[in-house]
Amino acid sequence: MPGSANSMLSTQHVSHANKFINDLTHSDIESHKTVAQYMSALDAEVTYHKFYPQLNQFHPLHFFTSSDSGIISKNISCSSLGINVAGIIRAPRGDGKEAIVLVTPYNPKKVGPGEALSLGIAYSVFSLLSRVTWLAKDVIWLVADSQYGEYSAVSAWLREYQAPVFHEAEIVNSETCNDSIAISELGQNPYSDRNSYGGFRRAGTMAAALVIKVDEQGNHHEDSLNIYPEASNGQMPNLDLINIVNYLGVHKTGFRIKVKKMFSLLGSRWLNTLGGIFESLGQIARSLNPQWKFGISATEYVEGAATLASSMYSQGLGVPTGSHGAFRDYQVDAITLKISPKDSPTKMIRRNDFILRGGRLIEGVIRSINNLLEKFHQSFFLYLLSSSSKYVSVGVYMIPFALLVAPLPIVAASLHADASKSTLQSTYSSEVEVSHKSWKWLNSARKVLVIHLWGAVVSLLPYFLYQIPNSTPTTNFTVWGILSAFSLIILYFILGSPIFEAAPSQPEKGEWASLKSVTISTAFIGLSLMSVINFATAEIGALLIVPICLMARPLKLDAQARSWRALLRATCNLALGFIAFPPVAYFLVKGAFEDFNGTNVGDYWNWVESLWTWNSATYLYVGIVHLPCWALCIHILFHPC
C-alpha cells in the first residue's frame, strides 16, 4: 500500500537543502560544480554528461525507424556544450539491476528561484535516500542542463544511457574543448576526488522516472501539484504511477492534485446546461430507487469534461508535455510533477515547510516504486484522464469510436455491390466489351492511390521548405499551399493522360459510387490504423472525416433532384467539406476554444511545424489519410456524373 510507511524526511534534510539552494543561487563558481560537490558529499557517484543540443528537425524517413540515429550538425562550437550532472546512489539491498530516476531541469546560466527550489526538494530526498537502509533500487538524480530545452538534455542523457554511440563520445570528449580542464579542476577539489568519475556511469534498468519542477509564479489559492503524463504520440505512463502520486498527494501531503484542463470549456453554457440535465436525471433516478447512484453533480461533470477534452487534445497532438516524454521512448514510465506554491518562490516565507511537503511526496513515491517486485502491470497504458483520480479506460472509449467508424465498411460494401451490379447490367447489354465486372473498382482504386501519393508528397514538402532561410511562417504556409495545389494539378494531368486511361474516358454512371466506396474503405483503414497508434487523433479525426465521407454525393445529382432533402444534403455536404479542410478545422477549433483575434495563417504553419519536429504521427495522419480523403470527397461532390 503506498504511503503506509512513515515519512523519514526530517527538518534536518530540509535545512541541508536550504543551504544547498543558497549556495546554488549565490555562489560564484559554476552551478554544475556546486551540484556535483553536494552530490559527492552524499557519497553518490557523480558523473558529468556532456552533450550537444540536438535540434529537432523533420526527418521524413525517421518516423518508422528506431531513434538511434544521433544526428549532430558539424559546426557546433564548444560553447554550446550542455552539461548534465548525474548522481547515483547504489542501493544497499539491491543488486544494481534496477533504478529509479529523479530529474530536475535547470538552467545553469541563470538559476531561477523555482528551479532552485525544485533542486532543493530533489536534494533533500536524495540526501535522505543516501542514508536509508530500505533502498532496493539504485537512485539516479539527473540535474539536466535546460539551457537548450529540457527535453533535448534529458533525451541526450537517455540516449547515452540506453544506446551509446561510440564514435560520438570521442567527438564530445575531444581535447579541443576545454572542458577536460573543468574536470581536472574538479579533481583537485577536496570534496569530490573520491566519487567523481570520468566515464559515463549507469545503474540498472529504469523502473520509473519523476521529473520535478516548481512553478516560478505563485498566486495560487493553495499549494497544488500538476501532473503531466503525456509522452510522444499520445503514449501514457502506467496508470499506477499517476495513482500513487495522486494517493500520496491527497492523503499524505495535502497537495491539491491537478491535471491540465481546458479552461475555456469550464465557462461554456451548453456544457453547464448538459451537466445540469445529467444532475437532475441522477436526482430523479435516486428518488425512484436510492440504490442507483449514477448521477454526478453539474460542476463535477463540467470539470471532468474539460479535463477529458484537454487529455484528448494533448494525446492527439502527439507532442510530449514535458521532458518525461523522452523516457517513454525507452519504455520507462515517467511523469512530470509541477508543484505550484501558494506564494511566489522568491518571497516565500515558509520555504522549509514547502520543501518538506514536496520532499515527503517524492520520498513516498520513490519508496512505493522501490518496493515493487516487478514492473507495473502492463495493461494500464491506454486510458484518458478525466480527473487526477478518474480515467476512461480503453474498453470504454473504444466503443464510441467503433460505433463511429462501423458505418464506413458497411456503406463501402453496399456502394461497391451497387456499382458492380449496375456495370453488370451494362456489360450484358453490350456483349462486345470484355466484362471485368468484379475488377471495375481498380480504376477508382488507382485514382485513390494517386491522391494518397499526393498526400504523401504534400507531407514531405515542408522538409524542403524548411531549408529556405529567413522565411516567415506566413510565406512558408503560402508557398506550401501553392506547391501542393501545383503538384495536385500535375498529378491530375498524369492521371488524366491517355496512358493511364484503360477504360473509355467518358465517366460512367456509377463511377462516383465506386470511387466513394474505395475512398471510404481507405478512410476506414487509415482510421483503424491510427486508432492503434494514437487513439485521440483517430477519434478527433473520425469526428471530422466520417460525416463527409458518408454524406458525399455529387452536387449535380442533388441539384437535379430538386427536393428539400437533396438541397439540405447538398448544403450539409458543402458545409462539412469546408469544415474538414485541415487549416479550416484548425482555425475553427482555435476560435472555439480561444478567440479569433490575432490569428493568421502563419499559426497553422507553426502548429504543423511543432507536430513534425516532434515526429508526431498526427502529422502523418493529417497528410496521408485526412487530406487525401477530404480531397476525394470534394472530388466526389463536384463529380460530373
Q: Catalog residues that contact other proteins under the rule CB under 8 A.
A: 61-62, 64-66, 69, 235, 331, 378, 381-382, 413, 416, 434-439, 441-442, 445-446, 449, 499, 502, 517-518, 521-522, 525, 528-529, 532-533
In 42-196, which ranges are continuous DSSP H helix?
113-129, 150-162, 166-172, 179-188
Q: Taking each helix axis from N to C terminus, what angle separates 473-496 and 441-465, rounded to the nearest 10 degrees? A: 150
Other beta carbons within 10 Å of 291 = 7
* C-beta of 71 vs 349, nearer to other proteins: 71
Would you say 37 or 522 has its CB closer to other proteins? 522
Hey, what amino acid is at 431? Answer: E
Distance between start and end Cα atoms, the chain: 68
Q: Whole-number minimum distance, CB 498 to other proteins, in Å?
A: 8
248 within 8 A of 254, measured Cβ to Cβ: no
Bridge partners (DSSP) of residue 213 are 338
Please state the closest distance from residue 307 (CB atom) to other proteins, in A.
Answer: 22
Considering the complex, what minimum distance in angstroms separates the CB of residue 380 from other proteins? 10
We find the least distance from the C-beta atom of residue 67 to other proteins, in angstroms, to be: 10
Of the pair 77, 378, the CB lying nearest other proteins is at: 378
- In this complex, which beta carbon is closest to other proteins, that of residue 69 or of residue 600? 69
Tell whether the torsion through CA atoms of 591, 151, 537 and 576 is positive or negative.
positive
The span from the CA of 326 to the CA of 336, in Å, is: 11
- At residue 518, the 3 state secondary structure works out as helix
The residue type of 167 is H
Residue among 35 and 636 whose Cβ is closer to other proteins:
636
* Closer CB to other proteins, 501 or 595, in the complex: 501
Query: What are the helix (H) ranges across 430-472?
Result: 441-465
Is the Cβ of residue 89 or residue 624 nearer to other proteins in the bound state?
624
Strand order in the sheet with 138-145: 196-197, 45-51, 82-89, 138-145, 98-106, 205-214, 333-340, 224-228, 256-259
**To the nearest whole angstrom, how small is the minimum distance from the Cβ of residue 392 to other proteins?**
16
What are φ and ψ of residue 221, in 5° steps?
-70, -35
Which residue number, 61 or 288, has a Cβ lying nearer to other proteins? 61
A 10 A CB-CB count for 233 gives 24
The nearer residue to other proteins, 213 or 416, going by C-beta atoms, is 416
Answer whether 104's CB lies under 8 Å from 35's CB: no
Percent helix, strand, coil in the chain, to 5, is: 60, 10, 30
Cell numbers of 640, please?
A: 460530373
Closest distance to other proteins from the beta carbon of 151 (Å): 19
**Can you say how many angstroms the Cα of residue 246 is from the centroid of all Cα atoms in its chain?**
21
Question: Given the complex with other proteins, which of 416 and 639 has the nearer CB atom?
Answer: 416
C-alpha cell at 387: 480527473
- For residue 206, the minimal CB distance to other proteins (Å) is 13
| Three state DSSP letters for 527-562 | HHHHHHHCHHHHHHHHHHHHHHHHHCCCHHHHHHHC
In the complex, what is the shortest distance from the CB of residue 159 to other proteins, in angstroms, rounded to a whole number?
Answer: 15
CB-nearer residue toward other proteins: 240 or 558: 240
Q: For the CA atoms of 157, 90, 237, 393, what is the dihedral angle to 10 degrees?
A: 170
CB of residue 497 to other proteins, shortest distance in Å: 12
Q: How far is the CB of 131 from other proteins (least distance, A)?
A: 34
- CB of 478: closest distance to other proteins in angstroms? 30
